[in-house]
Structure 1
Amino acid sequence: MTGTKQFDEVGDPSAAIRERTYSWSDPLETAGVAAGLSGMDFFAAMAAGKVPPPPILNTLDFDGITFEEGRVEFRLTPREFHYNPIGSVHGGVFATLLDSACGCAVHTRLPVGVFYTSLDLSVKFLRPVSVATGPITAVGSVVHLGRRTALAESRILDAAGKVCATATSSCLIMRPE
């Protein structure tokens, strides 16, 4: 057999296919703005609507972000488009939320002109999440910020405060020479 069949949730190829559309702003323009702001000022500008969010927030449909120096929270309400083939939120969605929380927590501590990139991410999946779980929150915080590296940790919590996943991340700090 050649070609691709599209199936609904019960395997009926004649059923309507679910669709989703979304838009985003030029990420390089956002990055250009970020280059001239401290991490805290960048997040404040984003919260005020002066800087568009990065495309990944729209791609995964993050519901909200809160931040303070050294700590961020991302909220996400699980939807079907987050699912893996076994009917729960895909581990890659967890990893993206956790990586975002770790990296952005580090970003809030950086002055103008200093950047970071993730060196590693270690994720532990503790419980499944589905649409029935309701909103989840990824909370990230800085454990250590050095001159060349930073260590951050994050957790995904359900509405009852149960931990669904955890992560640690090392980040490379890039300072102007």
Structure 2
Amino acid sequence: MTRLSHLDTVRGLLTLQDPKQFLFFTRTTNGRRAGKEFLARLKERSQGRDKAISLTSYGAQLKAIRRWGLEQPHDLSVIHQHGGIFATLLDSAAGCAVQSTLPQGVAYTSLDLTVKFLRRITVDTGTVRAIGTVVSKGRQTALAQAQLVDGTDRLLAHATSSCMLFPVPPSQG
């Protein structure tokens, strides 16, 4: 994983593209399109942006990933119908889509989540990716959807989530 992160970061630098395009999105047509749309939404947001990651933080994250990768692999073949991890991925993708549209000082929380599993997901499925989009956003609520796809963009699961929007008081720090 560390090697891939370094390679994708270098690939981004050499092609003058944001490394996130390579790190977080598949190289399929849909993956490239989703990446470009996501990065365009990030550029639109002018307030409440995260600070650039420091080299120290980047190194610490890669060290943790490397350490996790050295652990004995878990036997996931015994899990036949547990969808909690995939529901969490879908909930996170839908929530991140909503969060990406909010101005500084506004937060969200999930009100509900409805998940439909369309295909069996096993170790043989390979890498899965969650893609969240906002369907509708008002002053107090937002509706988002998320899709879980495999490496060939085959739809594995779909979710919808209603989110409540609320103001966050400024920090007193």
Give the unaligned 5+ runs of structure 2: 1-43, 58-64, 66-71
How much does 1:168 deviate? 0.1
Question: Structure 2 counterpart of 1:128, which letter?
Answer: R
Deviations 1:64-106 (A, max 9, x none): xxxxxxxxxxxxxxx9648374447x30011000000000100
TM-score (ref. length: structure 2): 0.55
2:155 to 163, 167, 173: 163
Larger fraction in strand: 1
TM-aligned CA deviation for residue 176 of structure 1: 5.2
| Greater helix proportion | 2
Change (3 A) 1:83 1:104: same
CA separation in 2, counterparts of 1:81 and 1:107? 33
TM superposition score normalised by structure 1: 0.54
Question: SS state of the match for residue 143, structure 2?
Answer: strand
Decide whether aligned partners of structure 1 residues 149 and 85 sit closer, same or farther in structure 2, where only a CA change above 3 A counts.
same
What is the match of residue 118 of structure 1? 110
Alignment counterpart, residue 130 of structure 1, candidates 116, 119, 122? 122
- The CA RMSD measured in Å over matched residues stands at 3.4
For 1:166 and 1:82, the matched residues in 2 are separated by 26
> Number of paired residues?
113
1:1-177 superposed matches below 5 A: 40=45, 45=50, 48-49=52-53, 81=74, 83=76, 85-87=78-80, 90-175=82-167
Q: CA 1:42–1:96 in structure 2 vs 1: closer, same or farther (change >3 Å)?
A: farther
CA–CA separation in structure 1 for the residues paired with 2:168 and 2:160: 26
Unmatched tracts of structure 1, length 5 or more: 1-38, 53-60, 62-78
Any runs of at least 4 consecutive aligned residues in structure 1 with deviations exceeding 6 A, and if so which? Answer: none
SS at match of 1:160: coil
Q: Residue by residue, what CA displacement relative to the aligned partner does 1:35-76 show, whole Å, maximum 9, x if unpaired?
A: xxxx95689637x426x8xxxxxxxx8xxxxxxxxxxxxxxx
